[in-house]
Amino acid sequence: MTSSPARRRIALLPLDDRPVNVLLPGDVAAVAGVTLDVPPQEILPDYRTAGDADALGAWLLERAADPETVHIVVSVDMLLYGGLIASRTSDDDTRAVLARLDTLREVHRRRPELPISAVSLVMRASNSYSAAEEPLYWTEHGKELHALGGDAHRLLGETEIIELGDLTAVPAEVVSDYSTRRLRNHIANLSTIGLVEDGTLDFLAITADDTAPFAAGSAEQVWMRHWMRMLPRGREVLMYPGADEVGAVLVARALAADAGVRPSFSVACATEEGMTRIPPYENMPLTASVSRQIRAAGATEVPEGGDVTLVMHAPDPDRHDMFRGRPDAVDEDAVAETTALVRARLDAGERVALADVRYPNGADEALVRALADEGLLGRLEAFGGWNTAGNTIGSVVAISAAGVVGRAGGTFDERAARIALLTRLLDDFAYQSVVRTDSGPSLFPDRFPMNDRARVDEARRVIREELGALLESMLPADGIEIEDLTLPWRRSFEIGLTLR
């Protein structure tokens, strides 16, 4: 069944209700001139309140029945638990969770020609005492539970079962609650791999955020790799670090598949050694995660001459985190080298997208200012510099791939591409690295979400004003303005931007 280009639609069941999971995939679709459908707000989750899993499943079936829908993109965590936080906090038992996978089987039964791409997350174990997105006992035992997972991972090859008390001082009832929820989610992930094998899913990405080389989630990935090797179609599953960007990546994949286009990327980095580094909160070298992000977007990596040159601003070897403030000293050599590389590739006529993975939780301010001074920002195909390296890479690859698809089919929307570029520059650089660092401590209390509506409104006003000033003074605005700014979870960690 083929729809006219003007009426092609993709249906997305997002990871949660935050802008990066709803608005960013919409930006990707818009670049290629395609409409993205997402569920109505009233059935999506709201911070710690889970989404309506039954209503979300019904919505998915409804969208699949529409002949204009050419691809279904599904967050398994949304379908099974009602969102990302609910996947860590809900008490739904394994039987109830697995039954919700039948929605995907039913979509495939009704429209076997309709492609379904899905992402399922490996449950994280935050190395912190923050229960903002975790079970409430995280305030007392979070770091210990994270360490327990790492210690258990190191014992993976041992045959003796060590007493729990020898591993951790966390009370057994807490360990039981936490581990039972992990077991449920792990079984769901294995069952989702089974949907690839039986042909229900056309593509599956299994991703992990906020992990480490030794962690409970990393151990679970060892077991999943076993089944990816054993099942003939299991080898098609991609597993890599990431989370919030995957919806956008799979929308790009859907665009490419529907158009019959396979974008190509050439990866460039000013320092070869930088590609071997393992970024903070991840468990594999940068070169491996970049390759898998490109493949997940339905694209291919080529040594030279790709449709897009993906320039990587390599991770800081000292593993500085922008969330904890600007680095004490700017690495002027690294900034100069990446700036020179971007300039050279642009001057050679290449389409250049920049993935700034120097620091987690914000772009390298010195790099962006250097690019602005040389008039290079507006010439970029895409930019990213937010949260983890995986988040950044995936969003940059997705927007760039959508541009390739749009140009190939004559549906490329240049205005949408400029809005996508400016949204990331405003969020990842102007907000995360400048405004949040400078004004955040005075605008946001230590505890969140903020319940004082007046304080929320004041924070929104100040942030919008300061972002507007940066947009006007140094970013390639090209007549685009901030139409709306939200604080979706009433905290400093993320903003929602609508540009016009």
CA-nearest of 314, 397, 329, 394 to 359 is 314
Average pLDDT rounded to a whole number, residues 186-194: 98
Domain ranges of the chain: 5-257, 263-499
What's the confidence (pLDDT) of residue 110? Answer: 97
- Torsion angle defined by CA atoms of residues 104, 249, 22 and 8, in that order, rounded to the nearest 10 degrees: -70
Q: Which residue has the tokens 């660092």?
A: 437
Task: Give pairs for 488-492: CB < 8 Å, separation 24+.
Answer: 488/17, 488/18, 488/19, 489/18, 489/47, 489/448, 489/449, 490/448, 490/449, 490/450, 490/451, 490/456, 491/132, 491/444, 491/448, 491/449, 491/450, 492/436, 492/440, 492/443, 492/444, 492/448, 492/459
Q: What is the pLDDT of residues 145-184, one digit of tens each?
A: 999 999 999 999 999 999 999 999 999 999 999 999 999 9
Number of helical (H) and strand (E) elements in the chain, helices listed first: 18, 13
Per-residue DSSP letter, 316: P
What's the confidence (pLDDT) of residue 2? Answer: 42
**Interstrand relation of 264-269 and 300-301 (parallel, antiparallel or unpaired):** parallel
Q: Is the pLDDT score of 3 beyond 50? A: no
CATH of span 5-257: 3.40.50
Question: For the chain, what is the mean pLDDT?
Answer: 96
Q: Is the pLDDT score of 6 beyond 90? A: no
Cross-sheet strand order for the sheet of 308-313: 300-301, 264-269, 308-313, 352-356, 382-384
The answer to whether 244 and 18 are in contact (CB under 8 A) is yes
CA-nearest of 118, 117, 125 to 143 is 125
Rounded to whole angstroms, the Cα distance separating 335 from 496 reads: 28
Residue type, 494: E
The answer to whether 421 and 382 are in contact (CB under 8 A) is yes
pTM for the model: 0.96
What's the confidence (pLDDT) of residue 328? Answer: 82
Q: Which two tokens stand for residue 371?
A: 């690019």
Rounded to whole angstroms, the Cα distance separating 387 from 493 reads: 9
Confidence of residue 5 (pLDDT cuts 50, 70, 90): very low
Give residues with Cβ within 8 angstroms of 162, minimum separation 6.
155
**Interstrand relation of 69-75 and 35-37 (parallel, antiparallel or unpaired):** unpaired
Q: For the residues of 100-161, what is the DSSP string, one character each?
A: TTHHHHHHHHH-TTS-EEEEEEEPP--SSS--SSS-TTHHHHHHHHHHHHHHHHHTTT--S-
CA-nearest of 291, 475, 458 to 383 is 475
CA-nearest of 131, 130, 169 to 147 is 169
Cα–Cα–Cα angle for 151, 152, 155, rounded to 5 degrees: 95
Q: What is the pLDDT of residues 22-37, one digit of tens each?
A: 999 999 999 999 999 9
Average pLDDT rounded to a whole number, residues 439-466: 91
What's the confidence (pLDDT) of residue 239? Answer: 96
The answer to whether 402 and 28 are in contact (CB under 8 A) is yes
What's the confidence (pLDDT) of residue 7? Answer: 67
What's the confidence (pLDDT) of residue 1? Answer: 39
